[in-house]
Amino acid sequence: MSPAPYRVLLALSVAATGAATSHAIAQSAVDRLESEIIVTAPRTEGPLQVVTDPGMPRQPLPAHDGADYLKTIPGFSVIRKGGTDGDPLFRGMAGSRINVLSEEAMLLGGCGARMDPPTAYVFPQNYDRIRVLKGPQSVLWGAGGSAATVLFERDPYEHSTDASKLDVSALMGSWGRRDLAVDGLYGSELGYVRVQGSDARSDDYADGRGDDVHGEYHRWNAQVMLGWTPGENTLVELSGARSDGEAAYADRLMDGVRFDREAVTLRVRQRDITDWFTLLDAHVAYGYVDHVMDNYNLRDFVPTMMMPGRTVSNPDRETLAAHVAATLEVTDELTAVVGVDGHDDAHSVRSSMNQLMTAYQDLPRVDDARFEQRGLFGEFTWQPAPGRSLAWGMRADHWRVEDKRQMVRQGMMTMVPNSTAGARDTDWLTSGFVRYEHGLGRRPNTEDAEVILFSGLGYAERVADYWERFGNDKQSLDTNSAFLTDPERTTQLDVGAIRRTARTRLSASLFASHVDDYVLIDTRVMSKPMGTVVTRSVDARTWGGELEYAWRVTDALLLESSLAYTQGRNRTDGHALAQMPPLEGRVSLAYTHEQFSVGGLVRLVAKQDRVDIGRGNIIGQDVGGSDDFVILSLNGSYRLSRQISVSAGVDNLLDANYAEHLSRAGSDVAGYVRTDRVYEPGRTLWLKLDMRL
């Protein structure tokens, strides 16, 4: 593709030099005149922070899980495996380099092959807000998170005599897509009851060529929250959640037929304890994931050399986590948040190679891994003058990991004794950051822009996670176990600016990262048996950034655009760093008039030829270069009343046949065309009804 579209997009983005955006704390015409449908990306809320409302209609239409919502944010990509449960990456970083938390409790999946990443258990419309923190620029949300922290949050309950509401949304779309979500709240001065639930399902979809993709799914969830407010500043909340479902995958030999998750959380929050002790927030969370995958329920059974019989695998994971944080107003200028956190999780698995002869339900579960973490953290913010702040923080974490496997798989079929059976790995890891923000405030009664400049330096140490050490019996270069993989250490510099006027907004963020002992997943080690996957450490560097621009052309017409780019290098091997997304840009135009809005989105993605085939991360490895593509989508909405609105759209209007660069390779599924990648949906029609009562 000619580079001309990118020149146009870049021109639109940088044309705001004289009239752009500022720190999003201040409201402006751009925020007050929201379009009905979000069509480019959530807006930058502040330095290195993006916030979005998952309840808003959105184009392109996301699936019901967390990953597809994240991919609308510049810098995020999703590795597609089928119709749902894609794996998110931020700036090319995947897995536990992204902390994913639901109401501040860390989410973890159970499948060793990443059928259920943490975002698979997130149902976005059950949350009031999604907040993304870029880079290692906070220490409050647990260990790791060297690339980003994603927080799925609910608004705190406001002590009220009448806080009742009912939100209902229903969606219908191509290929049997049907979603239903309900969120009901009844509250009083004594407390509240909040009930949420969703049901989402779809048949196989068709790509731009009309070929069916093995990707049907059905997921449901339900959650109840009981809150007691004995005083205006006190909250005690007990919540319980349950979810389950099934999902077909086009990239592998098995499908997920159970995603059973149970979660219970007890939270206590006390505000204004003293003049200087302003908040105590504590919670304990329990989670259990029971996942089943097989090769016959959601596809025609075809015997293979690796799976000659009806094969079932049943991993599970039990997690207990706790978090206590105190907010202290040390002086009028200095605020501190200090606390402790920790989590324990145990993983086990049972499997049957012939379900007809030996049912997996009759087999004992075998423990294979245990993780324990204890952390101590402190984060401080000093505001010596309006618009200026200095933030810094540190945390220390003690990790203990145990290898409980007696046998491991070597190559495709052979089982051999585990060289690290019974081994324990303990580490003290540290993380920290410092960030300076300098605001140039708007002068009263003028049209001058308000500007904030920022720079931050962060450092994060991360232990190799379950999927890097244990998943699918990964090996090291020297032994048949990757258990003793070294911790990964990331040092990152972030700089940027946000500038705003009454009608325009510009935000830019750049980063440069150096990673010691970057955990690389390698399928190309020739000294190992065929089918062996090796975990090894290399030194790496990544750099890039994101650019966002919005212009309120008139009170009714809004132009928005974004640009994201990341590049990486494996310095140890002298190659491009694998699994880096290509340059991507978006341009949208929306017209809003009283009760209705119409708009369109153009997504432009460049080709990617900087690859390292056979190497990558715990989710996937590079399968080759990829072509550029342009996708056009249209949407519209109509507000029937203050409580009811209808929105509709068509994604991929021109029915382009394309695959994302980071897509997984297609697998042999009986009755389906095998492809080099899992291709994206073709032309997709959808209709959505929202009621807020």
Q: Residue 213 maps to which CATH number?
A: 2.40.170.20
Cβ–Cβ < 8 Å for 578, 621: yes
Q: Within a 13 Å sphere around the CA of 492, how many CA atoms are in the beta-carbon half?
A: 32
- Distances, alpha carbon 156 to alpha carbons 43, 129, 233, 497, in Å: 22, 11, 11, 30
Cβ–Cβ < 8 Å for 322, 333: no
Amino acid 64: pLDDT:
76
- Distances, alpha carbon 631 to alpha carbons 518, 655, 659, in Å: 34, 9, 11
- Distances, alpha carbon 237 to alpha carbons 230, 254, 284, 314, in Å: 11, 39, 11, 33
The C-alpha atoms of residue 327 and residue 279 are separated, in whole angstroms, by: 5
The C-alpha atoms of residue 626 and residue 690 are separated, in whole angstroms, by: 38
Amino acid 58: pLDDT:
75
Domain that holds residue 527: 4-692
Tokens found for residue 550: 């919005």
Amino acid 8: pLDDT:
33
The C-alpha atoms of residue 633 and residue 507 are separated, in whole angstroms, by: 24
Identify the CA nearest to 209 among candidates 676, 687, 690, 693. 676
**What's 296's DSSP letter?**
S
Cα angle at 520 between 435 and 615, to 5 degrees?
125
Residue showing tokens 């605020």? 335
Q: How far apart are the first and last CA of the chain?
A: 48
| Residues contacting 11, CB < 8 A, separation 6+ | none
What is the value of pTM for the model shown? 0.92
Phi, psi of 679 (to 5 degrees): -80, 155
The C-alpha atoms of residue 678 and residue 438 are separated, in whole angstroms, by: 45
Helix (H) or strand (E) holding 194: strand 191-202
Q: Within a 13 Å sphere around the CA of 656, how many CA atoms are in the beta-carbon half?
A: 19
Cβ–Cβ < 8 Å for 646, 689: yes
- Cis before 60 (ω within 30): yes
Cβ–Cβ < 8 Å for 227, 266: no
Tokens found for residue 23: 């720190």
Dihedral in degrees, nearest 10, Cα atoms 463, 112, 677, 256: -140
Tokens found for residue 603: 């997504």
The C-alpha atoms of residue 605 and residue 619 are separated, in whole angstroms, by: 21
Amino acid 682: pLDDT:
97
Amino acid 297: pLDDT:
97
Tokens found for residue 154: 């609910």
- Which residue type is seen at 4? A
The count of other CB atoms within 10 Å of the CB of residue 65 is 27
Amino acid 53: pLDDT:
85
Amino acid 446: pLDDT:
52
Identify the CA nearest to 43 among candidates 74, 89, 14. 74
Query: How many domains, the chain?
Result: 1
Q: Mean pLDDT per segment of 10 residues, for the chain of length 693 residues?
A: 37 32 32 49 78 80 82 92 94 95 82 91 88 95 92 83 85 96 92 95 97 96 95 93 96 96 96 95 96 97 91 96 96 97 96 95 96 98 94 97 94 87 97 95 66 96 96 93 97 96 93 98 90 95 97 94 97 97 96 92 97 96 96 94 93 97 94 95 96 90
**What's 525's DSSP letter?**
-
The count of other CB atoms within 10 Å of the CB of residue 4 is 8
Report the DSSP pairing between strands 98-102 and 148-153.
parallel
Helix (H) or strand (E) holding 468: helix 466-469
Amino acid 41: pLDDT:
54
Cβ–Cβ < 8 Å for 245, 239: no
The C-alpha atoms of residue 376 and residue 300 are separated, in whole angstroms, by: 51
Cβ–Cβ < 8 Å for 204, 212: yes
Cβ–Cβ < 8 Å for 81, 252: yes
Amino acid 389: pLDDT:
96
Phi, psi of 218 (to 5 degrees): -150, 120
Cβ–Cβ < 8 Å for 498, 452: yes
Cβ–Cβ < 8 Å for 97, 145: yes
Three-state SS across 546-574? EEEEEEECCCCEEEEEEEEEEEEEECCCC
Identify the CA nearest to 242 among candidates 259, 267, 226. 259
- Distances, alpha carbon 340 to alpha carbons 140, 326, 391, 404, 639, in Å: 9, 9, 19, 28, 47
Helix (H) or strand (E) holding 174: none
Cβ–Cβ < 8 Å for 179, 164: no
List 518's β-bridge partners, or say none: 538
Cβ–Cβ < 8 Å for 323, 338: no
